[in-house]
Structure 1
Amino acid sequence: MENARCCLCHQETETVLHVLWSCGAAQDVWAGSLGRLQKSGTAQNDFLQLVTGLLMKLSDEEWNLFWITCWLIWHQRNTVIHGGVFQHPSRSAQRAVDYLKEYSIAQDSLHVPIPNHGPVQQTWQPPPETFFKLNFDDACFDEGVASGYGAVIRNEKGDVMAALAVRGGAVRDSEEVEVMACRKALEFAIDAGFTEIVLEGDNALVMKMITQAQPDLSRLGLIYEDIWCLAAGFRSISYNCIRRSANGVAHSLARFARLLDNEIVWLEEDPPPAVDALYLDSSFLN
């Protein structure tokens, strides 16, 4: 720049405040804008002071309009510097309003509503009276070379009726190890003599497959069929898909299985590997 004078009014130093607010060309644009923007003070020392003052006065819509108008004024100024013509101030003010409307419409069209599937169970909840809740989970070790299954059966008071930790073999993926853990948990509940249960797991895919009970031709189809056959042996059975935070005891037992050669069972006692998880569940219940 040859000098610091404003290239439009040639009267004052070309500061940010002057360019976007106090220059005659800018004031002509602001004059066609919303009343609250027109009537904002003109005694600011710098642009930051102006912005701070407006922030306390303007609504969200007015605030957005202010910045769009600033951008248009700056854009028009650059157009003039490079040989163009400054648009009529009223047109710039209207363009700012139109841009804000287009932005609002675009935001609405891009909005993706979050589906409401009902409340998500975050903590372990006791089963209805006369029922027992069977939670199961799995764990993979050494990149799938080995696996572990955990299962726990509790009554409406949260007392442990039976618990199981089993070390399994190699698995290919999370669905396989979860469905294996489910089958083992149902076998365990039947062997222990329980006939009315609520089955809970934290793998949405597996729980959906179990609940639908439809023919499955995948490599895991035979295991799902075993689960459906086992489920048919209960007097009453229902299913819940829960989050890991509501499945802490079974998860602790599955991780503990890494230390086992085969399996270990606890009957009517709290399994030591899951004491912390049981304490956490009881704290939510109380």
Structure 2
Amino acid sequence: MEAYSHNLFNIQAVIILHPVPTMESIIRVVFRKFNFHKESGLLQFWACNTDPHSEEIGCNLVLTYLTCNPTQDQGLEDYRKRCLEKQYPFVGIGTSVGNWLAGRAAQTGIADHRTKHHVLDHEDQHSRDIGARGQLALPVFINKGAGVKLVGIIELVTTERKESYIQDFEQIHGILQDAGLQSTYMGKTIKVVHDGHMIKFKLPLSAKFTDLHTEVTMRFIKLQHQIYRVEYYNTEGIRISISSDENLQICMAESSSRGAKFIKMFVSVEQGE
């Protein structure tokens, strides 16, 4: 019989561990990739801190050292300095955040902007701090089990107010998605009153007239078999019927110009002959 020799091999498994990106590193990437298009602008990040032992729903927004001001505009640096020096309230469901756009974005979960069409209902310290500058604030979320969790607010401030910040929002939104984070659309919270009841839902600024009616009839089932109008009060206190995409866009624009957190609408049912 032939003798066989067996070679013994030591097999070693090499496991390469890739570090999990931290929120800080992700936000740095977002700021680095954002294109200011050679215009002056400031990006800063508000972290959402929650107390695990508290029963209150909401968070404290803390302005972090994560910032980007490529042109080193002094006016924008002065604004940031005032933000760092201020004490901000806990942002809960019923907290009055006034004209503090970052607080409003945290409270509603919806991005919002301050454009050249913005008209203040009232002046407060937040509006005095921002002055004539333009602003965009959008919430940042991470996937958390079956849902999402708010981790902070990205704020963009420009030296002059723009016609719209939708393009800036879409740019940041895309970068966040590439980094595995989420944000919401730019839109408004809608409250609709009918027959002694109130419903609430969110509509993007790009919503159509049919989207509004779909949301209303989904919640007020009886309206599916009735002819009705959705109305609102404009800035002059006149009750206006929303009957087209253009009407809805005017309604949304007026709300944004006033810095309102929500739009209150009413259902008017047409009576049969």
* Higher strand residue share: 2
- Decide: shared fold, TM above 0.5: no
* Higher helix residue share: 1
The normalised TM-score by structure 1 is: 0.27
The normalised TM-score by structure 2 is: 0.28
Higher gyration radius (CA): 1
